[in-house]
A = this chain, B = another copy of it.
Amino acid sequence: MQKDLDLSFLFSPRSVAVVGGSTGMAPYFLTDLINKGFEGRVYSVNPNKNELVGLKCYPTLRDISEPVDHVIVAISARLVPPLLMECAAKNVKACTIFSAGFSELGTEEGRRLEKEIVDISGKNGLRIIGPNCMGIYCPSTGLHFSADLQEKSGSLGLICQSGTVATYLSRAAPLRGACINKAVSYGNACDINESDLLEHYTQDSDIEVIAAYIEGVKDGKRFLEALKKAARTKPTIVLKGGKTEAGIATAASHTGALSSSIQVWNAIMRQSGAIPADHLDQLIDLSLLFLCTPPCVGRRIVMVGLGGGVSVLASDAFETYGFSFPDLSEQIKAGLLRFSSAPGSIFKNPVDTAIAFKNPDAMEDVLRMLNDWNEVDLLLLHHGYDIPGGGRAQLSTAIGKMIDATSVISKPAALVLYCAADPESYQASVQDQQKGWAGGIPSFASMESAAAALDKFVWYHQRKARHHGPASSN
């Protein structure tokens, strides 16, 4: 049976049934569907209960008289094949199989069960996400795979082989400003796999940036083509899980992923033009940058903030990644001195100044002047929370004014809001980050993470400018 190549139907089912008991994940899936604005019908299927989280239980799928588009399966692995037969009979379009216990076990029984569900899927055109996965998060249609996910929809498309990683990214990325349009945790990928999702996200105009966590690919050739096309169409960031022997072995037991060598993987990444992420939080750093920041093809930075030691460490971090700090022109230096001449300030680049503290109303003029300085490509502002002097109120005013003032910036720019160690500072920093990205300026938690991400960001735009510039055609 021909499978549908457009996966839009996955993200907007008219009705969802959750099949599972009261001690597993079924109650959580049901609660999310009920509480998070899903507009379709929700059914609970459980032969042993009258109700679950206040919802009537149907003994079997057959007992539901209305059509069911999507089924979330949270039952024992050995019960899954007969359930899929029922799904096929009821013309269900797709299943999310949360249940684990398939090929990832590495046992004969696990492989047999997975083959059985693949066969049922293929014969009946029933699409499967998983098994061994969390399924779909799509805030615009109210599909949530975990509690505490934001209901606000964004422009990031997330493809994620691991459920824990998918949940972390889906919670953490929006808190930092990278709100999610669609996220799929796809586990063993027995049917819908990384290439299907890449292809779908590539043509999905609601998605501006793609971020993926992948342990192994099903079909290397197809994947390379899908990744190339994705990366040509929109920024596509990939974190590979399983780059070392130990990692590859762990991935095999996790999602049954068969990794090729890291050399092969690196070659795929190089050919594709996708952006490799080094670790989980860099996947968020990069997503945020590509969502927020206008293209940047140069590496000349002007940095402004308070703290000499921080400026020293920032200089080290950014020079290590190939950025430079042009000397301030006499005009800029004179301009800065007009706004602040407090002792302890350094009127070199990086500029160490207490302007934000002492004369916050001047921040806008300072930033306008730096934005207009034509010898730099990028503005970097930093402020700490656990820094000398001042109380929280003064600090909060200073940071607030600094972030407000960024509205005059038209060049690529970023904030480093560091040193939020105690919970109260952390809370303030999360709020300030939100103010920042709402105004188009991404925030980072350290100079090192900002430098590493900006390096990849500029690399991407330089490569793109070469390939699409007048001197070359691609």
Question: In the bound complex, what is the Cα–Cα distance between A417 and B384 (angstroms)?
Answer: 24
Contact with B along A126-168 (1 / 0, CB 8 A): 0000001010000000000111100000000000111111111
Give the shortest distance, in Å, between A444 (CB) and chain B (any CB). Answer: 13
**Cβ contact of A309, chosen from B99, B164, B325, B430, cutoff 8 A:** B164
Contact: B168 with A386, CB < 8 Å? yes
Contact: B246 with A324, CB < 8 Å? yes
Q: What chain B residues lie within 8 Å of A207 (beta carbons)?
A: none
Contact: B146 with A388, CB < 8 Å? yes
Q: What chain B residues lie within 8 Å of A145 (beta carbons)?
A: 388
Contact: A309 with B28, CB < 8 Å? no
A296 within 8 A of B: no
Give the shortest distance, in Å, between A373 (CB) and chain B (any CB). Answer: 18
| Chain B residue nearest to A431 in the complex (CB) | B423
Contact: A308 with B254, CB < 8 Å? yes
Chain A 318-350 residues near chain B, CB threshold 8 A: 318-320, 324-325, 343-344, 346, 348, 350
A413 within 8 A of B: no
A409 within 8 A of B: no
Give the shortest distance, in Å, between A176 (CB) and chain B (any CB). Answer: 8
Question: In the bound complex, what is the Cα–Cα distance between A350 and B306 (angstroms)?
Answer: 43
| Chain B residue nearest to A243 in the complex (CB) | B316
| Chain B residue nearest to A251 in the complex (CB) | B312
A293 within 8 A of B: no
A35 within 8 A of B: no
Give the shortest distance, in Å, between A333 (CB) and chain B (any CB). Answer: 12
Contact: A171 with B421, CB < 8 Å? yes
Query: What is A's interface to B at a CB cutoff of 8 Å?
Result: 25, 28, 76-77, 99-101, 104, 132, 134, 145-148, 160-168, 171-172, 175, 213, 215, 241-247, 249-251, 253-255, 279-281, 306-320, 324-325, 343-344, 346, 348, 350, 352, 384, 386-391, 418-419, 421-423, 426-427, 430, 446-448
7 closest pairs, A vs B, by CB?
Answer: A162-B309, A164-B307, A254-B308, A172-B421, A100-B344, A165-B309, A244-B319
7 of the cross-chain contacts (CB-CB < 8 Å) are: A25-B389, A101-B343, A162-B310, A166-B309, A244-B319, A254-B311, A279-B317
